[in-house]
Chain A
Amino acid sequence: DAGVTQSPTHLIKTRGQHVTLRCSPISGHKSVSWYQQVLGQGPQFIFQYYEKEERGRGNFPDRFSARQFPNYSSELNVNALLLGDSALYLCASSSLLGGASYEQYFGPGTRLTVT
């Protein structure tokens, strides 16, 4: 079975630009969460979507937005990029159904560099 997939793998953007990151969850999983991980730190929660609705938001500015599509894939959008947005962006999926439902499985991440 395919795991969580993310695209692109790497991305280089200039300050002030906009970026869109994409994620496809494990088949059958209806929840997607997004995380930002800077070097040397644990991942920080940005958003959770379940059944196409936002179910949680972390402490990130309004420049960050996301959405979930009917096929449960998701996009993370970041506007007006800052140097500090350079990080590994991780997507995780979970089923939220059944006994092991809270387990989150991560994709390989998108490495974003802002210059």
Chain B
Amino acid sequence: EDQVTQSPEALRLQEGESSSLNCSYTVSGLRGLFWYRQDPGKGPEFLFTLYSAGEEKEKERLKATLTKKESFLHITAPKPEDSATYLCAVLTTDSWGKLQFGAGTQVVVTP
């Protein structure tokens, strides 16, 4: 059975304190892995797509990497506005549109 697990569940950081979020997955075949940011009561905001092991994507203070078993979202020198829940999702090769999400990591960055 396909599975997506995110850790930690919650993360509290001081402004400027870099850290990494983990997304481990077990799927029959990976079409793509996606990272989203979600603010309370709002829809997820697309951040990155990773398609193959070794791929990396960057956007401002965020960098996503992918291996054959897991993905990391690195947050470098975070600011309070980076506070959000970060969701990872996988799309398997037997689907065009069924994203399977992890439960998310809630990140709080304090000044």
Say if A and B assemble together: yes
Q: Which residues of A contact B (CB under 8 A)?
A: 4, 31, 33, 35, 40-45, 48, 50, 55-56, 58, 88, 90, 92, 94, 96, 100, 102-109, 111
Q: Which of A31, A96, A105, A111 has the most CB of B within 10 A?
A: A105
Number of residue pairs across A and B with beta carbons under 8 Å?
Answer: 72
Q: Are B95 and A56 in contact (CB under 8 A)?
A: yes
Q: Are A96 and B101 in contact (CB under 8 A)?
A: no
Question: What total of chain B residues lie within 8 Å of the partner, measured CB to CB?
Answer: 25
Given A33-B98, A45-B98, decide whether A104 and B42 contact each other with a Cβ distance below 8 A. Answer: no
Q: Are A42 and B43 in contact (CB under 8 A)?
A: no
Of the 9-residue stretches B13-21, B44-52, B64-72, B75-83, which lies at the interface with chain A?
Answer: B44-52
The complex places the Cα of A55 from the Cα of B95 at a distance, in Å, of 9
Q: Are A96 and B96 in contact (CB under 8 A)?
A: yes
* Cβ contacts under 8 Å, B91 to chain A: 102
Instruction: Check: B63 CB closer than 8 A to any chain A CB.
Output: no
* Cβ contacts under 8 Å, A42 to chain B: 4, 87, 89, 101-104
